């Protein structure tokens, strides 16, 4: 197939995109935020028809000979927002090209040659994952379009990233903030051999394209579920609205749900020097932080202030009520779960410094040395800011989210003068000389997240490996990384 079918399909698909490009280019001229005409002009209806025909021909050439559609797409007056899940591939563009609905997508996509022009034609809402202000503007734009009554329907993938379809991760609230009815749409790729799924681990995008075009027949099913009308409570709570819609979609797909998010993916695969091991409990910690209504991106700027308060306590251990007062949140089951992560001895006390080290990793997962420097400020001696082996062990165990860790070899390698203590400057110099110090000294025998030896009841998306209690994530489970009550 690589020598026969693949090159023919690839060339034909490229030809169809080139054929569609001038139509999309001309039709997308003008201000992108200009209100669309109602009813649409005749020329736009003609362009819509031609582009849909060209795109359908392209998918047919790619092996999607029959696209099974179940249910009925609602009219824009019935549902202005379509929520699609699971999001698992760039082939999820098929329902977009069939309907020419607007979509919410990464801002970087507009710069893709040719394809970016086709994207701009459908007047998408662009979002930048790294720009917090962009996210706010995106939500406002979705709300404006949903309530205007003049814009085309908006297709949104509320998961916000690609997963492997074994479960539905936490839906982002953007599609549900307007509080208008939405129509859930579920996608299935029932091929026996899955060459479609593209996540943050595994085959790359080009390999997926090659394998899929080599497969003689590719199947896709698009099911439009009944329009979901929010209750008054759901209109007031976008998170509740999103959760209930996700439950309906999960039942239609016959899969589980999990409280993991795109941000957890970033944490699990961060490219910092302290790459998280398979049995980390920091993913659970991050989930609990969000469950308390705390936003890591907002907490990051205050880390130094919080760490100074913790340093002045000199390792003083606090109880649950004082911890709640420190975070300025009420005592709840979620807070108790978080507290138990740091209650190592089971005596109802915890060290605030451990919480701040874990929070630093969640806020800036790729900036290992920033976290270590913060920890040295809190744990270091008042004289020279140095720490001994026991304190280094505590810092690294917390930063990695594990119960046990042997740091003797690492400490000896850094403390080559055998002073029995090291400073952050010593650690930083060693990390610069040995960038792979974590893999070399802390867990040399562990392959980074290549496999999961513990399988929770509810499947975790590809790329997440954790040691959880049998209840599975999202149902009150706690990670067994420290002593838990």
- If residue 105 lies in a helix (H) or strand (E), which one and from where to where? strand 102-106
Q: What is the pLDDT of residue 72?
A: 93
* Residue range 89-114: mean pLDDT, rounded: 82
Q: What is the pLDDT of residue 227?
A: 95
Closest by CA position to 238, among listed 305, 295, 174: 174
Asked if residues 468 and 456 have their Cβ atoms less than 8 Å apart, the reply is yes
Pairing of strands 220-224, 67-70: parallel
Q: What is the DSSP letter of 422?
A: B
**Rounded Cα distance, 155 and 390, in Å:** 53
Asked if residues 156 and 81 have their Cβ atoms less than 8 Å apart, the reply is yes
Q: What is the pLDDT of residue 136?
A: 75
Q: How many residues make up the chain in this entry?
A: 485
* Residue range 84-94: mean pLDDT, rounded: 91
Cα 444 to the center of its chain, rounded Å: 28
Q: In the predicted model, is pLDDT for residue 302 greater than 80?
A: no
Q: In the predicted model, is pLDDT for residue 450 greater than 60?
A: no
Asked if residues 122 and 50 have their Cβ atoms less than 8 Å apart, the reply is no
Q: In the predicted model, is pLDDT for residue 252 greater than 90?
A: yes
pLDDT band (50, 70, 90) for residue 224: very high
pLDDT band (50, 70, 90) for residue 304: confident
pLDDT band (50, 70, 90) for residue 94: very high
Q: Which residues, 6 or more positions from 78, have their beta carbon under 8 angstroms from its beta carbon?
A: 181, 183, 227
pLDDT band (50, 70, 90) for residue 31: low
Instruction: Dump strand ranges (E) for 300-388.
Output: 317-318, 350-351
Asked if residues 26 and 237 have their Cβ atoms less than 8 Å apart, the reply is no
Q: Which residues, 6 or more positions from 316, have their beta carbon under 8 angstroms from its beta carbon?
A: 352
Q: What is the pLDDT of residue 458?
A: 35
Asked if residues 11 and 104 have their Cβ atoms less than 8 Å apart, the reply is no
Sign of the four-CA dihedral 329, 332, 337, 340: positive
pLDDT band (50, 70, 90) for residue 130: low
Closest by CA position to 9, among listed 51, 66, 60, 68: 60
What pTM was estimated for this model as a whole?
0.72
Task: Give the residue, 297 or 328, on which the prediction is more confident.
Answer: 328
Q: What is the pLDDT of residue 233?
A: 94
3-state secondary structure of 366: coil
**Rounded Cα distance, 178 and 125, in Å:** 15
Q: In the predicted model, is pLDDT for residue 340 greater than 60?
A: yes
**Rounded Cα distance, 44 and 30, in Å:** 14
Asked if residues 315 and 353 have their Cβ atoms less than 8 Å apart, the reply is yes
Expressed in percent and rounded to 5, the helix, strand and coil fractions of the chain are 45, 10, 45
Asked if residues 55 and 16 have their Cβ atoms less than 8 Å apart, the reply is yes
**Cα atoms found within 13 Å of the Cα of residue 93, Cβ hemisphere only:** 16
- If residue 154 lies in a helix (H) or strand (E), which one and from where to where? strand 154-156
Q: What is the pLDDT of residue 112?
A: 77
pLDDT band (50, 70, 90) for residue 60: very high
Sign of the four-CA dihedral 117, 123, 124, 125: positive
Task: Give the residue, 454 or 287, on which the prediction is more confident.
Answer: 287
pLDDT 10s digits, 385-444: 899 999 999 998 888 888 888 888 899 999 888 889 999 999 999 988 888 888 778 876
Closest by CA position to 89, among listed 164, 167, 198, 186: 198
């Amino acid at each position: 197939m690589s020598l026969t079918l693949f090159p023919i399909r690839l060339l034909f698909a490229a030809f169809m995109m080139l054929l569609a490009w001038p139509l999309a280019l001309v039709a997308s001229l003008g201000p992108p935020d200009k209100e669309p005409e109602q009813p649409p002009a005749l020329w736009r209806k003609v362009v819509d028809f031609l582009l849909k025909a060209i795109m359908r021909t392209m998918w047919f050439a790619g092996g999607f000979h029959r696209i099974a559609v179940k249910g009925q797409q609602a009219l824009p007056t019935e549902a202005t927002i379509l929520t699609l899940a699971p999001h698992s591939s760039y082939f999820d563009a098929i329902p977009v090209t069939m309907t020419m609905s607007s979509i919410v997508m990464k801002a970087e996509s507009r710069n893709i040659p040719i394809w970016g022009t086709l994207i701009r034609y459908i007047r998408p809402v662009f979002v930048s994952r790294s720009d917090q202000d962009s996210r706010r503007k995106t939500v406002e734009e979705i709300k404006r379009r949903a309530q205007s009554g003049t814009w085309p329907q908006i297709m949104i993938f509320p998961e916000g990233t690609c997963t492997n379809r074994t479960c539905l991760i936490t839906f982002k609230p953007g599609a549900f903030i307007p509080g208008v009815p939405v129509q859930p749409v579920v996608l299935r790729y029932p091929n026996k051999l899955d060459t479609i799924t593209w996540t943050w681990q595994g085959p790359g995008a080009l390999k997926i394209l090659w394998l899929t075009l080599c497969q003689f027949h590719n199947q896709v099913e698009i099911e439009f579920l009944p329009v979901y009308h929010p209750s008054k409570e759901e209109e007031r709570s976008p998170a509740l609205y999103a959760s209930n819609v996700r439950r309906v979609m999960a039942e239609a797909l016959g899969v589980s749900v999990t409280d993991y998010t795109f941000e957890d993916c970033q944490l699990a695969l961060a490219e910092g020097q302290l790459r998280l091991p398979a049995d980390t409990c920091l993913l659970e910690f991050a989930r609990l932080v969000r469950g308390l209504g705390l936003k890591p991106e907002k907490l990051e700027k205050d880390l130094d202030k919080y760490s100074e308060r913790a340093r002045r306590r000199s390792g003083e251990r606090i109880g649950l009520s004082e911890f709640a007062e420190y975070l300025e949140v009420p005592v709840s089951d979620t807070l108790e779960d978080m507290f138990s992560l740091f209650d190592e001895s089971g005596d109802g006390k915890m060290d605030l410094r451990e919480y701040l080290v874990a929070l630093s990793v969640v806020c800036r997962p790729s900036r290992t040395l920033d976290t270590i420097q913060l920890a040295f400020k809190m744990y270091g001696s008042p004289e020279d800011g140095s720490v001994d082996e026991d304190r280094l062990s505590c810092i690294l165990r917390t930063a990695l989210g594990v119960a046990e860790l042997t740091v003797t070899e690492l400490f000896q390698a850094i403390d080559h003068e055998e002073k029995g203590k090291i400073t952050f400057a010593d650690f930083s110099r060693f990390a610069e000389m040995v960038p792979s110090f974590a893999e070399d000294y802390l867990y040399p025998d562990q392959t980074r997240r290549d496999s999961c030896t513990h399988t929770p009841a509810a499947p975790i998306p590809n790329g997440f490996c954790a040691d959880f209690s049998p209840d599975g994530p999202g149902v009150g489970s706690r990670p067994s990384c420290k002593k838990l009550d």
